[in-house]
Structure 1
Amino acid sequence: MGIHPRLIDAHSHFDDVSFDADREQALQRAHNAGVLEQIIPAIKAAWWPRIKQLCKQNSELYPSYGLHPMYLSDHRDEHLTLLLNWIKQEHPVAIGECGLDFFIEDPQPALQQHYFEQQLQVAEEQGLPVIIHARRSVEEVINTLRRFAGLQGMLHSFSGSEQQAHRLIDMGFYLSFGGPITYERAKRLHRLIKSLPLDAILLETDSPDQPASHHRGERNEPAFLPEILQTVARLRNQQPQLIAEQTAANTRKLFKIRSPLPPDC
């Protein structure tokens, strides 16, 4: 039996209903691929209880609670009060998925900004990192984060510029990468992966979304994370084991998680 690197999927919506039929099998496939832990970010208040239940049943899954900018029609101001109470009771590893998305139809930027800032305020008060979604909005996200000095977190599926990347790293943020980097045409992302310090990089699948190029059109799942690892290793001309160890260490550091001891091989 080959020994896989120990990987952590830094951003997986493993609570998604698309996994309802085969979640246990998908979890086993992830374990077989060396993906032993996952961070599970929420997108709307109605789904927080199912993430809570899932993570209670599986100690290697870590919850994060928040309000995603793409689901504005589902959010209410009272959800922000509920979020604070939920955080105090449930002790998640992070706040999110939150952020700004100006790519969607009718983005309502002022309303997005309101929910984003309120969640950053909760994170600051509770001493938790944030999981940030930033699409066509990286500059606006950076400008907002400047008002919350000392806050840490990750920008998931980062797609900003190299300059923006280094500004975020200087502010204490990590950048996470997944399926998009595996596409041959993603030259700008490839240059970015080569240029960043390894201690600022996380690996993710964003399951069930954003599959790697070999799984185009399929449901994405955490078991595919080694393909992201191999792409990063190839682009950086570094050993996959080194990348796996450092990105897992980065994820544990950011979310203050203590991984269980590896099973005997």
Structure 2
Amino acid sequence: MSGGASRGATTVKLFDAHCHLQDPRIFSVATQIIRKAQETGVVKFAVNGVSEKDWHLVKHMSEQHPCVIPCFGLHPWYVLERSPNWLSVMKEFFSAVPGAAVGEIGLDKGSHGKKIDFMDQVQVFRQQLKLAKELERPVSVHCVRAFGDLLEILQSEGPFPAGLILHSYLGSAEMVPGFAKHGAYFSFSGYLTSMKPQKAKKMLKMVPTDRILLESDAPDGLPQLKGCSLSCVPGDASIPQEQPVHSGTTNIDSKGTLNHPANISTVLGYVATLLEMPEDELAQVSYRNAMHLFSYPGSKISEEAALL
């Protein structure tokens, strides 16, 4: 295991605050992915379950890999597939895995989410927010085109002293203070590169430094920056056969290409540029923030975080 990535004369550690290593597109090569990401400095992975069938995989992965922080949640896309006793089943997972956080849960009015009744999404979301508060665990939140609704729900269900993560945040700069007031951390992935740079910069400047997180959202969230060198997922069919995917990096431009957690370093560089902050400093800040957030009682990293 690598102790961190070297940037100049400094060795830094990165914490992937939100990813899906149990995703069937990459699960068979998850161990290889973790190993490669560790070599680039990514030493912790918050792996989020999104459906009931995922929870077993996330639990197993966290048992196999000490670097994995398990998270159990019911994503808004899967609320129609939930079993009648889904909440009781989720509680059983938390009892069996006391070091788990809550996620991924949330609201979605996007092209996919609009197929699911929004009130049904809200009901399931509120139930899981209540559970996160009862367990005193942080919660990772998915939100697409529903930030106003999200803020209203947080106002009625909050406060959230254990914290919550607005993962892959692409909301407005104006909404940042309202979310921060309710304990929100703002996690940035490769999706940030889809925003106009000036809009992204304005929003980033509003985020308190002690609330910044970085994530890959792998296997999605591939950074879309022209000419940047990115790590490939082994066996990714979208990569032309003549390109040596086993070498670890290649120039990728395809939106269909799977994302690798190692590409969080590209996100780090992009966010640091927009914030006009040294990469080493941002890496240290984001790592410390994530360690603090995920060091709740029972967490597998609580003792390690106490030393920071």
TM-score bucket of the superposed structures, by smaller chain? over 0.9
Q: 2:240 corresponds to which residue?
A: none
Deviates more, 1:57-66 or 1:96-105: 96-105
Inter-partner Cα distance in structure 2 for 1:181 and 1:145: 23
Inter-partner Cα distance in structure 2 for 1:121 and 1:96: 13
| RMSD across aligned positions (CA) | 1.8
- Pick from 291, 294, 307 the counterpart of residue 252 of structure 1: 291
Q: Which runs of 5+ in 1 are unaligned?
A: none
Q: 1:121 corresponds to which residue?
A: 130
Q: Give 1:43 deviation, angstroms.
A: 0.2
Q: 1:108 corresponds to which residue?
A: 117
- Pick from 166, 173, 182 the counterpart of residue 155 of structure 1: 166
Q: 1:139 corresponds to which residue?
A: 148
Q: Do 1:93 and 1:129's aligned partners in 2 also have CA atoms closer than 8 Å?
A: no
Change in 2 beyond 3 A, CA 1:235/1:47: same
Q: Which amino acid aligns with 1:211?
A: L
Q: Give 1:150 deviation, angstroms.
A: 2.6
Q: 1:173 corresponds to which residue?
A: 184
Correspondence list, 1:218-257, <5 A: 218-256=257-295, 257=301
Q: Which amino acid aligns with 2:260?
A: E
Inter-partner Cα distance in structure 1 for 2:27 and 2:293: 29
Note the alpha carbon deviations across 1:11-30, whole angstroms, 9 max, x for none: 01011122234222211210
Q: Do 2:75 and 2:104's aligned partners in 1 also have CA atoms closer than 8 Å?
A: yes
Q: 2:208 corresponds to which residue?
A: 197
Q: Which amino acid aligns with 1:195?
A: M
Q: Over alpha carbons, which structure has the higher Rg?
A: 2
Correspondence list, 1:31-46, <5 A: 31-46=38-53
Q: Give 1:190 deviation, angstroms.
A: 2.7
Q: 1:188 corresponds to which residue?
A: 199
Q: Give 1:160 deviation, angstroms.
A: 1.3
Secondary structure of the 1:18 match is coil
Q: Which amino acid aligns with 1:202?
A: L
Correspondence list, 1:26-65, <5 A: 26-65=33-72
Q: Do 1:10 and 1:202's aligned partners in 2 also have CA atoms closer than 8 Å?
A: yes
Inter-partner Cα distance in structure 1 for 2:132 and 2:30: 30
Q: Which amino acid aligns with 2:55?
A: W
Q: Which amino acid aligns with 1:9?
A: D
Q: Give 1:189 deviation, angstroms.
A: 2.1
Q: Which amino acid aligns with 2:213?
A: L
Inter-partner Cα distance in structure 1 for 2:56 and 2:280: 36
Q: Which amino acid aligns with 1:118?
A: Q
Secondary structure of the 2:192 match is helix
TM score, norm. by length of structure 1: 0.92
Q: Which runs of 5+ in 2 are unaligned?
A: 226-251, 296-300
Q: Which amino acid aligns with 1:75?
A: R
Q: Do 1:93 and 1:255's aligned partners in 2 also have CA atoms closer than 8 Å?
A: no
Secondary structure of the 1:38 match is strand
Note the alpha carbon deviations across 1:138-167, whole angstroms, 9 max, x for none: 111111111222312111011111121111
Identity of aligned residues (%): 27
Inter-partner Cα distance in structure 1 for 2:303 and 2:190: 24
Inter-partner Cα distance in structure 2 for 1:7 and 1:49: 26
Query: How many pairs were matched up?
Result: 261
Q: Give 1:47 deviation, angstroms.
A: 1.1
- Pick from 86, 95, 101 the counterpart of residue 94 of structure 1: 101
Q: Give 1:253 deviation, angstroms.
A: 1.1
Q: Do 1:154 and 1:173's aligned partners in 2 also have CA atoms closer than 8 Å?
A: yes
Which is helix-richer, 1 or 2? 1
Note the alpha carbon deviations across 1:112-142, whole angstroms, 9 max, x for none: 0111011011111111111100101111111
Secondary structure of the 1:131 match is strand
Deviates more, 1:9-18 or 1:188-197: 188-197
Deviates more, 1:38-47 or 1:186-195: 186-195
Higher RCO structure, 1 or 2 (CA under 8 Å, sep 6+)? 1
Q: Give 1:226 deviation, angstroms.
A: 0.4
